């Protein structure tokens, strides 16, 4: 077994955190554990955190969408936008670099599928597309 070499360190699957709780809250958790609702304190706390995250899922999703930007070149084809339209989704373009909207994209399709455009760099699109989306370009 001395020939076995570890190729990379195994990354932990979770992170340990420390929280401070009042004695009453801690006692309530212990009571729920004692009654069999949770296997231990950590199980209760993980469940509570997941429930809170689920409660705010839409807000988290919108926040991620709001803050995520693509880096480099991003092309938007007619097929891409048609697929979004057919799925009932709206695109929020956020690019650092160059964003290109294909020449065969109609202004109507762009208006139906593009909710906002933020480009730090350059936006390449027809004059008609830029005019149709003027109120959405930041």
User: Mind listing the pLDDT tens digit for each residue in 11-47?
Assistant: 566 778 899 999 999 999 999 999 999 999 999 999 9
Categorize the per-residue pLDDT at 71 as very low, low, confident or very high, splitting at 50, 70 and 90. confident
- The whole-number pLDDT of residue 60 equals 76
Counting the structural domains of the chain, the total is 2
* CA dihedral angle for residue 60, residue 61, residue 64, residue 65, rounded to 10 degrees: -150
Question: Are 42 and 97 in a shared domain?
Answer: no
Rounded to whole angstroms, the Cα distance separating 124 from 99 reads 6
Question: Are 115 and 83 in a shared domain?
Answer: yes
Domain of 71 in residue numbering reads as 62-136
Which residues are 99's β-sheet partners? 74, 123
Query: pTM here?
Result: 0.54
Question: Are 66 and 51 in a shared domain?
Answer: no
Q: Is the pLDDT of residue 1 over 60?
A: no
């Amino acid at each position: 077994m001395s020939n076995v070499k570890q190729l990379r360190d195994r990354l932990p699957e979770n992170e340990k955190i420390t929280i401070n709780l009042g004695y009453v809250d801690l006692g309530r958790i212990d009571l729920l554990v004692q009654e069999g609702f949770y296997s231990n304190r950590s199980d209760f706390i993980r469940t509570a955190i997941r429930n809170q995250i689920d409660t705010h899922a839409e807000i988290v999703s919108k926040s991620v969408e709001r803050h995520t930007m693509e880096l480099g070149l991003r092309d938007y084809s007619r097929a891409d936008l048609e697929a979004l339209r057919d799925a009932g989704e709206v695109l929020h373009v956020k690019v650092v670099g160059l964003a290109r909207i294909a020449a065969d994209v109609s202004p109507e399709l762009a208006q139906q599928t593009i909710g906002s455009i933020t480009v730090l760099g350059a936006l390449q699109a027809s004059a008609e597309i830029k005019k149709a989306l003027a109120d959405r370009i930041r």
